[in-house]
Amino acid sequence: MEIITDLMFDCLAILLYSVVGVVLMALGFVLVDLVTPGNLRKQVWREHNRNGAILLASNMVSLGMIVAAAIYVSEGNLVVGLASSFMYGIIGLIVMGLSFVLLDVMTPGKLGKILITQENHPAVWVSASVHFAVGLIIVAGLS
């Protein structure tokens, strides 16, 4: 009976962690949509904008790394894991947003406008790398 109880608890934990992760990714989508001009959904899914897709994907992967690391370091404590996943994810989003603004200030032109052009632009790789680096920094901070 204990095995069934453990299994049910683990399933509930996975479901709750998944909800936290999906909520954070939805917030990440909103953040990327805010820093890029126009409608991000239209840019990526209708106009097949690679630059927007790369930027959005880097945000999603970074958030996934942060949530996974927070779960890992919670050592089985569900409440701590859920709270830390959400809080560290929010910190990640804030830092990613601030790093985007900083990168925009440091580079010529408007970064958001550059990143939604149909032309492949190397700036998208720099911006995506910044998102990924922010995720790694937060993950390292959790250890």
pLDDT tens-digit series, residues 37-92: 888 899 999 999 999 999 999 999 999 999 999 888 988 889 999 999 999 999 99
Give the CA angle between residues 63, 66, 72 to the nearest 5°.
140
Answer yes or no: are the C-beta atoms of 32 and 59 closer than 8 Å.
yes
Average pLDDT of the segment spanning 85-105: 93
Tens digits of residue pLDDT in 110-142: 888 887 788 888 999 999 999 999 999 999 998
Answer yes or no: are the C-beta atoms of 68 and 140 closer than 8 Å.
no
What pLDDT is recorded for position 36? 85
Look at residue 1 and tell me whether its pLDDT is greater than 80: no
What are the φ/ψ torsions at residue 110 (nearest 5 degrees)?
Answer: -100, 115
With 0-12 / 13-18 / 19 or more C-beta atoms within 10 angstroms meaning exposed / middle / buried, residue 3 is exposed
